[in-house]
Chains A and B, each alone.
Chain A
Amino acid sequence: MADNHNILILFAHPRFERSRANAQLVRHIPRSERITFHDLYERYPDFNVNLAHEKHLLTRHDIIVWHHPFYWYGAPPLLKQWIDISLEFGWAYGPGGTALTDKIFFNAITSGGPRQAYTREGHHQFTVQEFLTPFRRTATLCHARYWPPFAVHGTHRIDEAGLLEHARQYRRLLERLLDGDFDPDKVQEYMYLNDWLTQTQQ
C-alpha cells in the first residue's frame, strides 16, 4: 500500500499531566497535516462527546489509533464513552452502517507491568491481545480491520533512555503508516506492532 493515509489519534488519559510515559510518546508524534491528535479528556472534560464532530473526524481519516494507558485491562472511561457515542448504529454498524469499512483500528497502550506479566504463565494470566478483545470485535463489527497493539510495557520501572527508545519507535510507526509503508496482511501476523517494526526495519 503506497497511497497516502490519514491518521486519527484518539488520546484518552485522565491524568496526562502526571504521566511521564505518555508525555514522551505524545511529544514524538510527527507534525503532519495528515495526523490529527485528538485529546479526548481535554476536549470533553464533561464527557459530552459531540457526535457530529466525531463522525466528521472518522470520515476524514482511515487509520484510527486508540491511544491510552492500559487501566484495569481496558481503556479509561471517556474512551468507552467515545465508542458508545461515536460508533453510531446505522452509520458505523448495523443496517447501512458502512462508514468505517476497511479503515484500520489499533490500540497504542502504556502499561505499568512488564511484557512477561501479560502471558498465560505471567502475573495477569492473559495476553494483552486477549484483554483487547472488545476493541477487536468493536472494530470488526464496524467492518474495519483491527491490528495488533503498539505497547509500552513496564512504565513503572522503565528509565528515561528506555522510554525514549519506545517514543522514537512510536514516531517511526506513525511515519511508516503515513507513508503507506506496510503490508496490511503481514502486519496482522505479529503479536505487537512493536515487533513488526523491529523485524521489518530496513
Chain B
Amino acid sequence: MAGDFLSQALIYLAAAVVCVPAAKKLGMSSVLGYLLAGMLIGPYLLGLIGREGQDVMHFAEFGVVMMLFLIGLELEPAQFWKMRRAIIGLGTFQAALTAGLLFGLGMVFGLAWTTALAIALALTMSSTAIVLQSLKEKGQTQTAAGQASFAVLLFQDILVIPVLAILPLLAPAAVAGVEPAHHNLLEGLPAWLKTLAVFGSVVAIIVAGRYLIVPLLRIVAKTRLRELFTASALLVVIAVTWLMEQVGLSPALGAFLSGVVLANSEYRHELESDLVPFKGLLLGLFFLGVGASINFKLILEHPALTFGLVTGIMFLKALVLYFGGRSFRIISDQNLLFALGLSQVGEFAFVLFSFSRQLNITDFATTDLLMAVTALSMTLSPVLLLINEKYIDPHFGIRQVTTEQSPDHIEEKHPVILAGFGHFGSTIGRLLRANGIEVTILDFDTDRVELLRKMGFNVYYGDATRLDLLKSAGADEAKMLIAAIDSPETNYELIRTAQKHFPHLRIMARARNRFDAYELIDLGLENIYRETLYTAVHLAVDVLENLGFRAYTATRQGQNFIQYDEAALRKLAVQRHDVKQYILSVREQIEHQEELLQADLQQNLSESDHSWDGEYLRETLGKNPA
C-alpha cells in the first residue's frame, strides 16, 4: 500500500512540478497548469492514474474546504458590511437571473421542474477556487473586477447553505427506499427533519466555534509548540468536515462558517499562516483531480451536446454578469474581466450534483454529463481569461487612449516614464508634477487610469513589461524610466525589457527591501531606492530626537546610517553568490555595524566633527598644556 501511495504521490507531484511552471512560462495561471497536468495523467490520455482519480478528487475536495475556511477567516464582519451593497445587490442579481434563465431553459428542454431547479442552482455557482487564485496571481484582487468577483462569489458561497437545505425538499417522495451513495446519519429521515438537521448543524458550528474552538486554541497556544498549533488548525477543519459529512452537508460550507466564526478571534492570523500551504497543495490536487476526472469518452460520444452545453452555459452566465456589472457601473474592460472570469461552473456544482443524485433529483447519466460540462468549463475558464488578457483587453485599453484624449496630448512625449502609480509611484508623480515635470504614466489598474486621465495625466493603460506599450509611451525618446511597480517580479521584467530595447534610458528602480535590491544590483542598476530604508531611518531619527538627542545630531546619524547601509548593500550583493561567504560576511557586517554604532556612541559623530566638539578640544588641550 505504501509503495502504491508513493508511486501515486510521485505521479501527481511530478505532473504538477512539470506542468505548472510550464503553464506559468506560457503566461497562463497555475490553475490551468494543474488542470492540464490532470488531463495528461488522467485515464483518458497517459492513463497514469485510473479510476482512482475520483477518489483523489474526493480527497482533494478537502483543499476547497480549506480554502473556504480561509476565506471565512479573512472575512471580518466590518469588511463584509462595507461590501454589503455589492454582495447583496450584484450577488442577488447574478444568482436570481442566471438560475431563473437556466431553470426556464431546463423546463423548455422538458426536464421535471425539480430537476431543472436543482440543475439551474448548481450551474449558477462559479468557481471560487479558480477565480480567486487567478485574481491573486495577477494582482487584481483590489481592482473593481476583483472586488465585484469576490462579492458575487461570496454571495454564491453563502447561497449554497439554503440550497443544500432546500434540495431534500425537492426529492421525489419515492426516494426513501433507494440506497444512497454516501452513508450518513440522515439516511431514511423524512425531508423536513433533514432540513431541520441542516439548520441545526449550522447553528452547532457557530456555537462550537465560539465556545469550544477558541478556548481550545487558547490552551494549545499556551504550550508554545508551533506544530501543535498547526495540528489543531488542521483538526478544526477536519472535524468540521467530518461532522458535515456525517449529516450529509457540504463540508465546504461548514468550514466557511467556522472560518467566519473564528475571524474575530485573536488566532486568526496564526490559523491563516498555518493552513495556507496545505490549502495551496490540496487545491492544486483538486484541480489535478478535475482535470483527471474529465470523462473524455462521454465527451467523444456526445461532442455536440457537451460543447453546446458548455458554450451555452458559459455564454449565458457571462452575459448576465456583464449586464450586472454594467448596472453596477464597472467600466467596460474591467467588466469584461469580471464577466468572463466568473462564467465557469464552480466546484460547488460537483457537490450539489452529487447531492441531487443521492436524493434522486437527477439521474446518473445527466449527472455524469453535467459533471463533465462543469469540469470542462473550469478548464476553459483560465483559457478564456488568457485570451481576454492577450487579445481583447489590450485592444480595449489602447482604444480608450485614442478616443478619450485630445490629439495633441497623444503626441506629447515626456522625458520621464513612470511605471506603476500605486502608493509609491503616485508620490513620485505628485512631487514631479508639483515641480512642473510632466511624466508619462503606465499602469494596469483601469480604475486608477480613468481617474488619472481625468486629472490630465498622460496615462497608458496596460502591462508595462510589454515592449509595444513602452514604445507607444515614448521610451525611445524618453530620458528616464522610473520602475515603481508593486510586484518586484514585474519590476525586474520591466527593467530587463527596458535594458534590452532602450539602453539609453536611465532607470530609477524601487526596491521593496534588501533582497529585492540585490536582484536589482545583479541587473546592473545604479539607482536603487529601498522603500524600507529611508522611512525606517526617518522614524529612528525621530525616536532619537524624542529621547533627547539634538535634532541635528540625530539627522546626521540617520544620514550616516543610510550611507553606511548602502555601501554595505553593494558589498554584500557581490558576495552573496557564494552562499557560505555570504553567511559569513553577513555576520561580519553585523559585527562591523555593531562596532560602528559603538564608536558613534562614544564620540557621537566621526572624527572630522571634533572641531565642533567643545569638550573634546578642552580635553585634548588639557592633556597638552600650551
> Contacts A18-B604, A71-B611, A156-B621 given: A45-B616 contact, CB under 8 Å?
no
Which one of B373-381, B518-526, B550-558 is at the A interface? Answer: B550-558
- Can you list 26 residue pairs at the A/B interface with Cβ under 8 Å? A14-B552, A15-B553, A15-B604, A15-B612, A15-B613, A15-B614, A16-B550, A17-B549, A17-B604, A18-B612, A18-B614, A18-B615, A18-B616, A19-B614, A19-B615, A20-B614, A20-B615, A20-B618, A41-B551, A43-B551, A45-B555, A71-B612, A76-B612, A112-B614, A155-B618, A156-B617
B578 in the interface, Cβ–Cβ < 8 Å? Answer: no
Bound-state CA distance A140–B613 (Å) is 32
B227 in the interface, Cβ–Cβ < 8 Å? Answer: no
B301 in the interface, Cβ–Cβ < 8 Å? Answer: no
Which residues of chain A come closer than 8 Å to B550, judged between CB atoms? 15-17, 41-42, 45
**SS of A interface (majority):** mixed
Interface string of B540-554 (1 = CB under 8 A from A): 000000000111111
CB-CB contacts below 8 Å: B600-626 with A: 604-605, 609, 611-618, 621
Residues of B that sit less than 8 Å from A by CB: 549-556, 604-605, 609, 611-618, 621
Bound-state CA distance A151–B453 (Å) is 63
Which residues of chain B come closer than 8 Å to A124, judged between CB atoms? none
Nearest A residue to B620 via CB reads: A156
| Shortest distance between the CB of A81 and any CB in chain B (Å) | 12
| Beta-carbon contact of A46 and B555 below 8 Å | yes
The tally of CB-CB contacts under 8 A between chains A and B is 59
Interface string of A11-31 (1 = CB under 8 A from B): 000111111111000000000
A69 in the interface, Cβ–Cβ < 8 Å? Answer: yes
A115 in the interface, Cβ–Cβ < 8 Å? Answer: no
Nearest A residue to B619 via CB reads: A156
Bound-state CA distance A41–B550 (Å) is 8
> Contacts A20-B618, A156-B617, A156-B618 given: A45-B552 contact, CB under 8 Å?
yes
A34 in the interface, Cβ–Cβ < 8 Å? Answer: no
| Shortest distance between the CB of A193 and any CB in chain B (Å) | 22
Bound-state CA distance A78–B552 (Å) is 11
Nearest B residue to A112 via CB reads: B617
A137 in the interface, Cβ–Cβ < 8 Å? Answer: no
- A sample of 6 more A-B contacts (CB under 8 A), given A43-B551, A45-B551, A156-B621, is A15-B553, A17-B604, A20-B618, A45-B550, A155-B614, A155-B618
A80 in the interface, Cβ–Cβ < 8 Å? Answer: no
The 4 closest A-B pairs by CB, nearest first: A45-B555, A45-B551, A15-B612, A41-B552
Interface string of A66-109 (1 = CB under 8 A from B): 00010100001010000000000000000000000000000000
Which residues of chain A come closer than 8 Å to B555, judged between CB atoms? 45-46
Which residues of chain B come closer than 8 Å to A156, judged between CB atoms? 617-618, 621
Bound-state CA distance A157–B609 (Å) is 20
Please pick, from B554, B609, B618, B621, the residue contacting A15 in the complex, using a CB distance under 8 A. B609
Bound-state CA distance A130–B615 (Å) is 27
| Shortest distance between the CB of B261 and any CB in chain A (Å) | 51
Please pick, from B549, B612, B615, B617, the residue contacting A14 in the complex, using a CB distance under 8 A. B612
| Beta-carbon contact of B609 and A45 below 8 Å | no
Bound-state CA distance A157–B619 (Å) is 10
| Beta-carbon contact of B614 and A21 below 8 Å | yes
| Beta-carbon contact of A42 and B552 below 8 Å | yes
Residue from B554, B612, B613 with most neighbouring chain A CB atoms (10 Å) = B612
Bound-state CA distance A22–B612 (Å) is 12
Which residues of chain A come closer than 8 Å to B554, judged between CB atoms? 45
Bound-state CA distance A141–B533 (Å) is 46
Bound-state CA distance A156–B621 (Å) is 7
| Shortest distance between the CB of B496 and any CB in chain A (Å) | 37
Residue from A15, A69, A71 with most neighbouring chain B CB atoms (10 Å) = A15
Bound-state CA distance A156–B612 (Å) is 13
Which residues of chain A come closer than 8 Å to B613, judged between CB atoms? 15, 18
> Contacts A71-B612, A76-B612 given: A17-B553 contact, CB under 8 Å?
yes
| Shortest distance between the CB of B143 and any CB in chain A (Å) | 39
Interface string of A34-45 (1 = CB under 8 A from B): 000000011101
| Shortest distance between the CB of A15 and any CB in chain B (Å) | 4
Nearest A residue to B616 via CB reads: A18
Which residues of chain B come closer than 8 Å to A78, judged between CB atoms? 552
Which residues of chain A come closer than 8 Å to B605, judged between CB atoms? 15
| Shortest distance between the CB of B282 and any CB in chain A (Å) | 54
| Shortest distance between the CB of A93 and any CB in chain B (Å) | 28
Interface string of A148-165 (1 = CB under 8 A from B): 000000011100000000
Bound-state CA distance A157–B621 (Å) is 8
Nearest B residue to A17 via CB reads: B550
Nearest B residue to A76 via CB reads: B612
Which residues of chain A come closer than 8 Å to B609, judged between CB atoms? 15
Nearest B residue to A13 via CB reads: B612
Bound-state CA distance A14–B604 (Å) is 12
| Shortest distance between the CB of A155 and any CB in chain B (Å) | 7
Residue from A22, A155, A156 with most neighbouring chain B CB atoms (10 Å) = A156
Nearest B residue to A155 via CB reads: B614
Residue from B604, B605, B614 with most neighbouring chain A CB atoms (10 Å) = B614
Bound-state CA distance A155–B618 (Å) is 8
Which residues of chain B come closer than 8 Å to A155, judged between CB atoms? 614, 618
Which residues of chain B come closer than 8 Å to A18, judged between CB atoms? 604, 612-616
Interface string of A136-149 (1 = CB under 8 A from B): 00000000000000
Bound-state CA distance A18–B609 (Å) is 11
Bound-state CA distance A15–B556 (Å) is 11
Which residues of chain B come closer than 8 Å to A41, judged between CB atoms? 550-552
| Shortest distance between the CB of A110 and any CB in chain B (Å) | 8
Nearest A residue to B603 via CB reads: A18
Bound-state CA distance A76–B613 (Å) is 12
| Shortest distance between the CB of A92 and any CB in chain B (Å) | 25
Residue from A18, A19, A69, A76 with most neighbouring chain B CB atoms (10 Å) = A18
